[in-house]
Structure 1
């Protein structure tokens, strides 16, 4: 699949459960655990962080 299509599905999963989208993007890294914490503190911060992680482009 194209990268854009994969990003679309990761964002859809992130809307349902934000840590799942982050996990699919970066695995069990620091950002995953930060997202778990943000999601526990509130759904919206976890969702914003997940979408940011998925849409940022690293070189």
Structure 2
């Protein structure tokens, strides 16, 4: 899998604000809701989920 220039920004946004990284990758949907919930419950699980979504798609 090649990492594009836009992926670098998505990864940076996922580390700073995890829901923003998911929003840029998948848009509004269940993945965004899950990530918001994980970020509220703990910042690290939100980052892990956001990076998973970005690298998966």
Give TM-score, length-normalised by structure 1.
0.88
Structure 2 unaligned runs (5+)?
none
Number of equivalent positions: 56
**Structure 1 stretches lacking a partner, 5+ long:** none
- 1:28 counterpart SS class: coil
**Runs of 4+ that moved beyond 3 A:** none
Q: Could you tell me which residue of structure 1 aligns to residue 23 of structure 2?
A: 23
Equivalent residue number for residue 7 of structure 2: 7
User: Could you list the per-position Cα deviations for residues 11-43 of structure 1 after superposition, in whole angstroms to 9, with x for gaps in the alignment?
Assistant: 101111000000000111110000000000000
Root-mean-square deviation (CA), in Å?
Answer: 1.5
Aligned partners of 1:23 and 1:6: how far apart in 2?
13
2-side partners of 1:21 and 1:55: how far apart?
A: 11
TM, length-normalised to structure 2: 0.91
